[in-house]
Amino acid sequence: MDLDWLVEFLFTIIRLSTPLIFAALGAVISRKAGVLNLALEGMMLVAALTGVVFSAITQSWIVGLLTAVLGSMLMATIISYCFLVIKTDLYLTCIATNMASIGGTVFVMFLLTGSKATTAEALRSMSIPRIDLPLIKDIPYIGDVLSGHNLLTYVSFAMVFFAWFLIYKTRIGLRMRAVGEAPEAVESVGISVPKIKYISFLLSGVFAGFGGAFMSMSYVTWFSRDMVAGRGFIGMSIMNIANASPVGSLGASFIFGGADATAKYLQLQNLPTDLVFMVPYAVTIIALTVISIVRIRREDRIVHGKSLRRKKATEKAAE
């Protein structure tokens, strides 16, 4: 039985899931501190362009990756300052940032290259290397699926563990969760809530920076307008589906990566382009709907169970 098509399909799922994992982790880390980062899309866009520009200028993918992350962190800092210090509305600030990023990246790209579509002709970024995993690469089929991915793909898996460890095994993670659940109680013991939120938002920017760098320095080696294509918003959906769990976000990212890979496959079958492009977003809507129904039914069962126990306790007391 020829399994080459399946191997290639699974390899593609892992590849396409990489930016979604970073975006989802960015959403998770901010959500734990009670902050919903709606600017992930804009942060990834800025990181993607920054990485291309500086890697092309310096001819170093390391410099490109670092500046991409720094660019995203700078955006996170600006947004944090606006809503924590100036007291602007967080969600309106994030939406405005996304809109500014879409237009701003095109403007900067035009200034640098004279093109409003892509940097492919004038600025080609250095490519982040691919890694062959020792021993695993020699295993039939499995090696073809798991080995040979971009370095950032393996970094994204490591970041899942890092995010889990940070949130559940460190003091700062405990404080993030406490701020997200009971900020007044945290303030009462002398811990600065704005400081914790700022740290979580900054870390969210780091994850978004890695995701943006993957898009322009691995997925392709140039920047094009709006190239993130909604992955930041899908990352937020993944976070909601996984209930802000780092490990759960990894699994959910593979689901959406599979939807994206399916869309790529359908595109090769000469199906209408508009129909193909809606597949990942349709999966997002369906998944959110299913998860919401499951959660509502679970809550109903819990409430019903409590009511039954209360009724039995009342009847027993009456006897």
pLDDT in the model for residue 33: 92
Q: What domains does the chain contain, in order, with CATH numbers?
A: 4-277 (1.10.3470)
192: which DSSP letter? -
Picking from 271, 263, 240, the residue whose alpha carbon sits closest to that of residue 253 is 240
Is residue 23 within 8 A of residue 238, CB to CB? The reply is yes
- Contacts of residue 258, defined as CB under 8 A and 6 or more positions apart, other chains included, come to 13
pLDDT in the model for residue 286: 81
pLDDT in the model for residue 315: 59
Q: Which helix (H) or strand (E) holds 291?
A: helix 279-318
Residue numbers of the chain with a pLDDT score lower than 50: 1
Model pTM score:
0.88
Question: At 224, is the secondary structure helix, strand, or coil?
Answer: strand
**Cα–Cα separations (whole angstroms), residue 93 to 20, 40, 99, 138, 200:** 23, 12, 10, 50, 17
State pLDDT tens for residues 236-276.
Answer: 989 988 889 999 999 989 988 888 888 878 777 776 777 77
Q: Which helix (H) or strand (E) holds 83?
A: helix 61-84
Is residue 26 within 8 A of residue 204, CB to CB? The reply is yes
